[in-house]
Structure 1
Amino acid sequence: MTDRHVVTIQVTGRPATFATAHEKPWKDAVRLAIAASGVEPQAARFAVRLEFRLAAARNANEVWDLDNLIKPTLDAMEGIFGARAWRGTPQPADDRVDRIEAVKRLPEAGEFPGATIDVWVIEPD
Protein backbone atom coordinates (compact mmCIF):
# COMPACT_ATOMS: atom_id res chain seq x y z
CA MET A 1 0.00 0.00 0.00
CA THR A 2 1.14 3.50 -0.74
CA ASP A 3 -0.20 6.79 0.56
CA ARG A 4 -0.88 9.82 -1.63
CA HIS A 5 -1.03 13.10 0.26
CA VAL A 6 -4.29 14.89 -0.52
CA VAL A 7 -4.35 18.03 1.59
CA THR A 8 -3.05 19.88 4.64
CA ILE A 9 -5.73 21.90 6.37
CA GLN A 10 -5.15 24.60 8.98
CA VAL A 11 -8.10 25.06 11.32
CA THR A 12 -8.18 28.11 13.55
CA GLY A 13 -10.39 27.97 16.60
CA ARG A 14 -10.65 26.39 20.00
CA PRO A 15 -10.68 22.58 19.56
CA ALA A 16 -13.63 20.98 21.32
CA THR A 17 -14.32 17.52 22.57
CA PHE A 18 -17.24 15.28 21.71
CA ALA A 19 -20.61 16.04 23.34
CA THR A 20 -19.75 19.48 24.71
CA ALA A 21 -21.23 22.94 24.16
CA HIS A 22 -18.21 23.92 22.06
CA GLU A 23 -18.50 20.97 19.64
CA LYS A 24 -20.66 22.78 17.04
CA PRO A 25 -18.39 25.86 16.68
CA TRP A 26 -15.39 23.52 16.33
CA LYS A 27 -17.10 21.44 13.64
CA ASP A 28 -18.10 24.64 11.83
CA ALA A 29 -14.45 25.81 11.89
CA VAL A 30 -13.28 22.44 10.49
CA ARG A 31 -15.90 22.54 7.70
CA LEU A 32 -14.98 26.11 6.80
CA ALA A 33 -11.27 25.27 6.59
CA ILE A 34 -11.99 22.23 4.41
CA ALA A 35 -14.19 24.27 2.08
CA ALA A 36 -11.50 26.97 1.83
CA SER A 37 -8.89 24.35 0.89
CA GLY A 38 -10.72 23.48 -2.34
CA VAL A 39 -10.42 19.74 -1.74
CA GLU A 40 -13.21 17.56 -3.12
CA PRO A 41 -14.75 14.45 -1.52
CA GLN A 42 -13.14 11.22 -2.68
CA ALA A 43 -14.28 7.61 -2.67
CA ALA A 44 -11.18 6.11 -1.09
CA ARG A 45 -9.57 4.73 2.07
CA PHE A 46 -7.85 7.38 4.19
CA ALA A 47 -5.02 8.00 6.62
CA VAL A 48 -5.32 11.12 8.80
CA ARG A 49 -2.86 12.98 11.01
CA LEU A 50 -4.34 15.44 13.50
CA GLU A 51 -2.25 17.89 15.49
CA PHE A 52 -4.37 19.79 18.00
CA ARG A 53 -3.10 23.09 19.45
CA LEU A 54 -5.03 23.54 22.67
CA ALA A 55 -5.76 26.77 24.49
CA ALA A 56 -4.99 27.00 28.18
CA ALA A 57 -7.74 25.49 30.32
CA ARG A 58 -10.25 28.02 31.61
CA ASN A 59 -11.01 25.93 34.71
CA ALA A 60 -10.07 22.66 36.38
CA ASN A 61 -12.84 20.79 34.57
CA GLU A 62 -11.66 21.78 31.11
CA VAL A 63 -9.54 18.85 30.00
CA TRP A 64 -9.07 17.38 26.57
CA ASP A 65 -9.00 13.64 26.07
CA LEU A 66 -7.34 13.00 22.75
CA ASP A 67 -9.94 10.45 21.65
CA ASN A 68 -12.74 12.94 22.34
CA LEU A 69 -10.99 15.60 20.24
CA ILE A 70 -10.70 13.20 17.30
CA LYS A 71 -14.39 12.28 16.99
CA PRO A 72 -15.95 15.72 16.35
CA THR A 73 -13.09 16.58 14.01
CA LEU A 74 -13.61 13.49 11.82
CA ASP A 75 -17.38 13.98 12.04
CA ALA A 76 -16.95 17.38 10.35
CA MET A 77 -14.84 16.10 7.45
CA GLU A 78 -17.54 15.12 4.93
CA GLY A 79 -15.95 17.64 2.58
CA ILE A 80 -13.10 15.13 2.19
CA PHE A 81 -14.63 11.74 3.04
CA GLY A 82 -17.99 12.31 1.35
CA ALA A 83 -21.24 11.12 2.91
CA ARG A 84 -21.90 7.67 4.28
CA ALA A 85 -24.34 5.69 2.12
CA TRP A 86 -27.19 5.01 4.50
CA ARG A 87 -30.66 6.16 5.43
CA GLY A 88 -31.09 8.66 8.20
CA THR A 89 -29.29 11.80 9.25
CA PRO A 90 -26.42 12.46 6.82
CA GLN A 91 -23.03 11.48 8.23
CA PRO A 92 -19.50 11.70 6.88
CA ALA A 93 -17.98 8.48 5.58
CA ASP A 94 -15.33 8.51 8.29
CA ASP A 95 -15.67 4.72 8.44
CA ARG A 96 -13.19 4.79 5.52
CA VAL A 97 -10.43 6.15 7.77
CA ASP A 98 -8.08 3.20 8.25
CA ARG A 99 -5.23 4.93 10.05
CA ILE A 100 -5.13 7.85 12.49
CA GLU A 101 -2.21 9.59 14.13
CA ALA A 102 -3.11 12.30 16.65
CA VAL A 103 -1.22 14.55 19.02
CA LYS A 104 -2.21 17.42 21.29
CA ARG A 105 -0.04 20.25 22.54
CA LEU A 106 -0.09 23.87 23.61
CA PRO A 107 0.45 26.49 20.89
CA GLU A 108 4.01 27.70 20.46
CA ALA A 109 4.92 31.40 20.24
CA GLY A 110 3.07 32.97 17.32
CA GLU A 111 0.59 30.08 16.97
CA PHE A 112 -3.12 30.10 17.72
CA PRO A 113 -5.36 27.34 19.07
CA GLY A 114 -6.66 25.07 16.34
CA ALA A 115 -5.46 22.05 14.42
CA THR A 116 -3.39 20.95 11.48
CA ILE A 117 -5.05 18.12 9.59
CA ASP A 118 -3.15 16.09 7.00
CA VAL A 119 -5.05 13.61 4.84
CA TRP A 120 -3.68 10.86 2.63
CA VAL A 121 -5.48 8.47 0.29
CA ILE A 122 -4.33 4.90 0.85
CA GLU A 123 -3.78 3.33 -2.54
CA PRO A 124 -3.33 -0.42 -3.03
CA ASP A 125 -0.07 -1.49 -4.65
Structure 2
Amino acid sequence: LPKGNARKLAPKYIGPMKILENYNGVSFKIEIPNVLKQRGIHPVFHASKLRIHHPNDDNRFPGRTVEQVLSSFGEQADEWLVEKIIGHKREGRDLKFEVEYKSGEIAWLPYREVKHLTPLATYLELLNL
Protein backbone atom coordinates (compact mmCIF):
# COMPACT_ATOMS: atom_id res chain seq x y z
CA LEU A 1 0.00 0.00 0.00
CA PRO A 2 1.20 3.53 -0.66
CA LYS A 3 2.50 5.50 2.31
CA GLY A 4 -0.21 7.37 4.13
CA ASN A 5 -2.97 4.90 3.26
CA ALA A 6 -4.62 3.10 6.17
CA ARG A 7 -4.37 -0.67 5.91
CA LYS A 8 -7.83 -1.11 7.42
CA LEU A 9 -9.35 0.81 4.50
CA ALA A 10 -7.70 -1.38 1.89
CA PRO A 11 -9.67 -4.27 0.40
CA LYS A 12 -8.76 -7.69 1.77
CA TYR A 13 -9.24 -9.32 -1.61
CA ILE A 14 -9.02 -8.11 -5.19
CA GLY A 15 -10.57 -9.65 -8.24
CA PRO A 16 -12.14 -11.33 -10.02
CA MET A 17 -9.18 -13.29 -11.35
CA LYS A 18 -9.30 -16.09 -13.89
CA ILE A 19 -8.19 -19.52 -12.61
CA LEU A 20 -5.59 -20.92 -15.01
CA GLU A 21 -4.71 -24.18 -13.30
CA ASN A 22 -6.00 -26.35 -10.47
CA TYR A 23 -3.43 -28.29 -8.42
CA ASN A 24 -5.57 -31.10 -6.92
CA GLY A 25 -8.01 -28.61 -5.39
CA VAL A 26 -5.34 -27.51 -2.91
CA SER A 27 -3.69 -24.68 -4.83
CA PHE A 28 -4.69 -22.64 -7.84
CA LYS A 29 -2.72 -20.70 -10.42
CA ILE A 30 -4.55 -17.49 -11.23
CA GLU A 31 -4.12 -14.83 -13.88
CA ILE A 32 -2.77 -11.81 -12.01
CA PRO A 33 -2.30 -8.30 -13.40
CA ASN A 34 1.15 -7.22 -14.59
CA VAL A 35 1.34 -4.68 -11.77
CA LEU A 36 1.33 -7.52 -9.25
CA LYS A 37 3.77 -9.63 -11.30
CA GLN A 38 6.22 -6.73 -11.35
CA ARG A 39 5.96 -6.55 -7.57
CA GLY A 40 7.07 -10.18 -7.42
CA ILE A 41 3.69 -11.68 -6.47
CA HIS A 42 3.64 -15.37 -7.38
CA PRO A 43 0.48 -16.48 -9.26
CA VAL A 44 -0.12 -19.72 -7.28
CA PHE A 45 -2.25 -19.47 -4.13
CA HIS A 46 -3.53 -21.99 -1.59
CA ALA A 47 -7.30 -22.47 -1.73
CA SER A 48 -7.68 -20.95 1.76
CA LYS A 49 -6.37 -17.61 0.41
CA LEU A 50 -8.99 -17.40 -2.35
CA ARG A 51 -12.63 -16.35 -2.16
CA ILE A 52 -15.56 -16.50 -4.56
CA HIS A 53 -16.03 -13.15 -6.28
CA HIS A 54 -19.11 -11.16 -5.37
CA PRO A 55 -19.78 -8.17 -7.65
CA ASN A 56 -19.49 -4.66 -6.22
CA ASP A 57 -22.48 -3.40 -4.25
CA ASP A 58 -23.10 -0.01 -5.89
CA ASN A 59 -25.27 1.08 -2.96
CA ARG A 60 -22.42 0.72 -0.48
CA PHE A 61 -19.49 1.48 -2.80
CA PRO A 62 -20.76 3.48 -5.78
CA GLY A 63 -18.52 3.44 -8.84
CA ARG A 64 -15.71 1.36 -7.32
CA THR A 65 -13.81 -0.65 -9.94
CA VAL A 66 -11.08 -3.28 -9.83
CA GLU A 67 -8.70 -0.84 -11.55
CA GLN A 68 -9.08 1.64 -8.68
CA VAL A 69 -8.10 -1.03 -6.19
CA LEU A 70 -5.13 -2.25 -8.24
CA SER A 71 -3.83 1.25 -8.94
CA SER A 72 -2.66 1.60 -5.35
CA PHE A 73 -0.28 -1.34 -5.86
CA GLY A 74 1.58 0.26 -8.75
CA GLU A 75 2.12 3.77 -7.41
CA GLN A 76 4.62 3.18 -4.65
CA ALA A 77 6.51 0.27 -6.15
CA ASP A 78 8.01 1.80 -9.29
CA GLU A 79 11.29 2.77 -7.65
CA TRP A 80 11.67 -0.76 -6.25
CA LEU A 81 11.07 -2.58 -9.51
CA VAL A 82 14.12 -4.49 -10.71
CA GLU A 83 15.31 -2.78 -13.89
CA LYS A 84 18.11 -5.18 -14.74
CA ILE A 85 20.44 -7.81 -13.38
CA ILE A 86 24.08 -6.77 -13.46
CA GLY A 87 25.93 -9.84 -12.24
CA HIS A 88 25.87 -12.98 -10.16
CA LYS A 89 28.03 -14.86 -7.66
CA ARG A 90 27.99 -18.08 -5.71
CA GLU A 91 28.14 -18.01 -1.91
CA GLY A 92 28.50 -21.58 -0.70
CA ARG A 93 25.47 -23.41 -2.08
CA ASP A 94 23.55 -20.19 -2.76
CA LEU A 95 23.45 -18.22 -5.99
CA LYS A 96 23.05 -14.45 -5.64
CA PHE A 97 22.27 -11.87 -8.28
CA GLU A 98 23.31 -8.23 -8.34
CA VAL A 99 20.20 -6.25 -9.29
CA GLU A 100 19.68 -2.61 -10.17
CA TYR A 101 16.36 -1.09 -9.15
CA LYS A 102 14.64 1.65 -11.17
CA SER A 103 15.69 4.05 -8.41
CA GLY A 104 19.34 3.27 -9.27
CA GLU A 105 20.01 1.43 -6.03
CA ILE A 106 22.00 -1.80 -6.33
CA ALA A 107 21.55 -4.87 -4.12
CA TRP A 108 22.36 -8.57 -3.99
CA LEU A 109 19.34 -10.89 -3.94
CA PRO A 110 19.15 -14.68 -3.65
CA TYR A 111 17.94 -16.70 -6.64
CA ARG A 112 14.58 -17.48 -4.98
CA GLU A 113 13.73 -13.75 -5.03
CA VAL A 114 14.62 -13.16 -8.69
CA LYS A 115 13.73 -16.46 -10.38
CA HIS A 116 10.32 -15.19 -11.54
CA LEU A 117 11.49 -11.77 -12.77
CA THR A 118 11.71 -10.87 -16.46
CA PRO A 119 15.19 -9.25 -16.08
CA LEU A 120 16.57 -12.67 -15.04
CA ALA A 121 15.51 -14.21 -18.36
CA THR A 122 17.14 -11.30 -20.19
CA TYR A 123 20.35 -11.67 -18.15
CA LEU A 124 20.56 -15.43 -18.75
CA GLU A 125 19.93 -14.88 -22.46
CA LEU A 126 22.87 -12.46 -22.60
CA LEU A 127 25.05 -15.16 -21.01
CA ASN A 128 23.74 -17.74 -23.52
CA LEU A 129 22.35 -19.93 -20.72
TM (normalized to structure 1)?
0.23
Of Structure 1 and Structure 2, the greater helix share is in 2
Query: Relative contact order, CA 8 A, sep 6+: which one is greater?
Result: 1
Normalising by structure 2, we get a TM-score of 0.23
